[in-house]
Structure 1
Amino acid sequence: MSDTPAHLLIVDDDERIRELLKRYLVKQGFMVTAARDAAQARRLLSGLAFDLIVLDVMMPGEDGVALTQWLRGAMATPVILLTARGEAKDRITGFEAGADDYIAKPFEPRELVLRINAILRRAPRPEAGADAPQMLMLGRLRYEIETGELRDGQEPVRLTQTESALMRILAARHGQVVSREALVDQLGRDRGLGGEIAQERAVDVQITRLRRKIELDPRRPRYLQTVRGEGYMLTAG
């Protein structure tokens, strides 16, 4: 069995609930990525593999039931539906769509953890790397994980040595926050990078330069995100 924590996707249009669930589940030992709606969830799922999805039913646009139906046609990842509707007919609708479990709001976070663990025990996780994506799609750009190449269509995007090292580190942990301290440590061990990146501020500068190459609007990054007080996270989509 893998020692890597299970990676969960939380999909809920309520920012407060998203953040509360994310913080609680991280404290319980899970890796957690959050999406605000079905569209963002689809983008994340196109580049990341998750062990389980916790999905709100009542969202604007595509609702949770419709997204669950799409998921069942695309992958076998377990789904837990969250909803304020607790009537039997609503639970039946969720299960018919392909959900593995159904929890009515309000609920105790501990109950959610117990149900997550029960489902994960019934659905053994694949061996590490078995379903891992071989590339990450960053909008129009494609990052080849094995070779470390970044391409815009067929054209390579030139990266400096430090930018290449940053991409390798962040891509290896895509969907997870990497702290500035961890980046300083890993970059500092990479021969040839020199002492210029041995400080957190220098890492911030390198992140800014890398954003200019992968973001349509570097001032409002979509793929290389700052997680306030924690570090940086690379997300596909």
Structure 2
Amino acid sequence: MPATIKLHRSKAPDDNCPHILVIDDDSRIRDLLARYLQEHGFRVTTAIDAATARATMRSLSFDLLILDVMMPHESGLDFARSLRRESQVPILMLTARAEPEQRIEGLEAGVDDYLTKPFEPRELLLRVSNVLRRGGSAPATGEVRMGNFVFHIGRGELKCGGETVRLTERERELLRYFAQRPGMPVSRHELARDDGENGGERAIDVQINRLRRKIEKDPANPVYLQTVRGKGYILYPE
């Protein structure tokens, strides 16, 4: 019988944030990974073994799996091989061994990347970022930079030189939406679809102009939040 699934959520979860499934039989590592990833803008679900992960994936979809190699009953490599017969969800493998043979075995099993224990938290974010980018998911990290401005995706907080820049709730939603899709055009229709305000796509143009006045040196000639003719808008963070 699969163990109880532990779902970690930040104080203000955003359903648009990438959802990561952490699979590790070590409760300390599971909790540390969940807490750290949440702090950097991700939703996280944890599982203690392959059986629990399978049960979870029958009811939830994920943008990335972080999978330990050494687990009871079914190893991470065996689980990856089995999963690849039916799913192409990106997999970041955690391992205590760095031998080339094991890495090759993992790549043959369909693993996208490896991270050797112990690891630096920043390296974890970078590898998660790279795997998500290759898989077409967003975001790369928990924050995006635009010149002197830094936007923390999870907190929805914009800062400039350490000072918080006031955002309306709609501006925060828009900036988070773009930050989760860096370099990807987003149509006006898509942005207006879930907007409860009146005005539809025309209202989006007004909101984008207001947001540009807060993040662009020259709002009339934007560097970061640009217009894509005939499509909508696109964010080019640094």
Per-residue Cα deviation, 1:194-221 (whole angstroms, up to 9, x for no partner): xxxxxxxxxxxxxxxxxxxxxxxxxxxx
Aligned to 2:108: 96
- In structure 2, the residue matched to 1:86 is 98
User: 1:125 Cα deviation (Å)?
Assistant: 3.6
Other-structure match for 2:26: 14
Would you identify which runs of 4 or more consecutive aligned residues in structure 1 move more than 6 Å?
none
Aligned length, in residue pairs: 125
- Work out whether residues 37 and 44 of structure 2, in 8 Å CA contact, stay in contact via their aligned partners in 1: yes
Indicate yes or no: 2:62 matched with 1:50. Answer: yes
Please give the alpha-carbon distance, in whole angstroms, between the structure 1 residues aligned to 2:15 and 2:45: 19
Alignment partners' CA distance in 1, 2:73 and 2:100: 24
Matched, 1:5 2:17: yes
SS at match of 2:119: coil
Q: In the alignment, is residue 60 of structure 1 matched against residue 69 of structure 2?
A: no
SS of alignment partner, residue 84 of structure 2: helix
With CA pairs under 8 Å and 6+ residues apart, which has the higher RCO, 1 or 2? 1
SS at match of 2:85: helix
Alignment of 1:68-217 (within 5 A): 68-125=80-137
Kindly provide the amino acid, as one letter, of the partner of residue 73 in structure 1: R
2:99 & 2:93 partners in 1: Cα distance?
A: 13
Q: Aligned equivalents of 2:121 and 2:46: distance in 1?
A: 16
Q: Specify the code of the residue in structure 2 equivalent to 1:51.
A: D
State how far apart, in whole Å, the 2-side matches of 1:29 and 1:58 are.
27
Residues 117-152 of structure 1: per-residue CA shift (max 9 Å, x gap): 1111111149xxxxxxxxxxxxxxxxxxxxxxxxxx
Alignment partner of 1:74: what SS? coil
1:78-136 C-alpha deviation (Å, 9 max, x unpaired): 0010010110101111111000001111111211111111111111149xxxxxxxxxx
Change beyond 3 A, Cα 1:3–1:37: closer
Cα-to-partner distance string for 1:135-186 (whole Å, 9 max, x where unaligned): xxxxxxxxxxxxxxxxxxxxxxxxxxxxxxxxxxxxxxxxxxxxxxxxxxxx
Please state whether the residue corresponding to 1:80 is helix, strand or coil: strand
Identify which of 15, 24, 46 aligns with 1:34: 46
* CA shift digits 1:34-75 (9 cap, x unpaired): 001111000001111000000000001101000000111111
Contact in 1 for aligned 2:92/2:131 (Cα 8 Å): no
User: Residue type of the partner of 1:95?
Assistant: L
SS class of match (2:22): strand
Q: Is the contact between residue 23 and residue 47 of structure 2 (CA under 8 Å) also seen in structure 1?
A: yes
Q: Which amino acid counterpart does residue 32 of structure 1 have in structure 2? A: V
Corresponding residue of 1:207: none
CA distance in 2, matches of 1:110, 1:39: 30
Check whether the contact 2:18–2:42 (CA below 8 A) recurs between aligned residues: yes
Q: By how many angstroms is 1:3 displaced?
A: 8.1
Structure 1 segments unaligned to the other structure (5+ residues): 127-237
| C-alpha distance in structure 1 between counterparts of 2:103 and 2:115, whole Å | 9
Q: Within 5 Å, which residues of 2 pair with 1:217-232?
A: none
- State the one-letter code of the partner of 1:92: I
Distance 1:38 1:78 in 2: 16
CA–CA distance in 2 between the matches of 1:27 and 1:85?
A: 28
Instruction: For residue 21 of structure 1, give the secondary structure of its aligned residue in structure 2.
Output: helix
Change (3 A) 1:98 1:85: same
